[in-house]
């Protein structure tokens, strides 16, 4: 017998389960699958923004060990403030850094694709799109994030599309 969508429960991440968004409520209200998926996507968006706004302090040349490179020392992005995203080599380096950080520290993404959009000369912002499938049961859910890097601060802003 096939399960109905209402029977499928979305289990939030451990962090999302520990954060109480409504501390005055004595218990959480029942959630539909749609609400669960929306909350899961919001949590993934938040986690992606935290990942991209954290600066990695690890030196890739120090260790060849994959487990060391997946440790908390390497969590985040390398510093990108001096990067010129107008040059092809720097564009390639930026996309590679983004892809490496997301693949390494966001295991919920399948079929990751990062597309760098043309640099906005007026607003002086670098924009790119993160497309993936969110690994969840019963089937992966497509997800798209539009991301902007502020030129002055290097801060990433992530919005779900």
pLDDT digits (tens, 9 = 90+) for 108-143: 999 999 998 887 677 778 899 999 999 988 889 999
The full DSSP string for 99-147 is HHHHHHH-TTEEEEEEEEPPPBTTTTEEEEEEEEEE--SSS-EEEEEEE
User: Which backbone phi and psi does 143 adopt, to 5 degrees?
Assistant: -145, 140
Residue 23 within a domain: no
Q: Which domain holds residue 137?
A: 31-160
Query: What pLDDT digit, counting tens, does each position of 78-113 carry?
Result: 887 777 777 888 888 889 999 999 999 999 999 999
Q: What is the CATH number of the domain that holds 125?
A: 3.10.450.40
Residues 6+ apart with CB under 8 A from 130: 48, 98, 102, 112, 113, 114, 144, 145, 147, 158
- Please give the model's pTM, rounded to 2 decimal places: 0.77
d(Cα 122, Cα 100) in Å, to the nearest integer?
29
Residue 18 within a domain: no
37 — pLDDT class (breaks 50, 70, 90): confident
User: Which backbone phi and psi does 131 adopt, to 5 degrees?
Assistant: -120, 140
Residue 26 within a domain: no
Residues 6+ apart with CB under 8 A from 10: 31, 33, 36, 37, 39, 40, 136
Residue 83 within a domain: yes
Total of domains in the chain: 1
1 — pLDDT class (breaks 50, 70, 90): very low
| Torsion, Cα of 94, 150, 49, 92 (10° steps) | -10
């Amino acid at each position: 017998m096939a399960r109905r969508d209402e029977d499928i429960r979305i289990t939030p991440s451990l962090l999302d389960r520990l954060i109480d968004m409504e501390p005055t409520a004595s218990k959480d209200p029942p959630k539909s699958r749609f609400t669960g998926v929306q909350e899961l996507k919001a949590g993934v968006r938040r986690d992606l923004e935290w990942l991209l706004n954290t600066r990695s302090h690890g030196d890739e040349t120090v260790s060849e060990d994959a487990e060391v490179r997946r440790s908390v020392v390497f969590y985040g992005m390398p510093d990108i403030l001096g990067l010129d995203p107008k040059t092809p080599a720097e564009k390639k380096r930026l996309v590679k850094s983004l892809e490496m950080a997301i693949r390494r520290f966001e295991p919920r993404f399948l079929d990751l694709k990062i597309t760098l959009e043309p640099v906005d000369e007026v607003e002086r912002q670098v924009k790119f799109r993160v497309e993936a499938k969110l690994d969840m049961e019963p089937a992966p859910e497509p997800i798209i994030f539009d991301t902007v890097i502020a030129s002055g601060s290097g801060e990433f802003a992530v919005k779900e599309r």
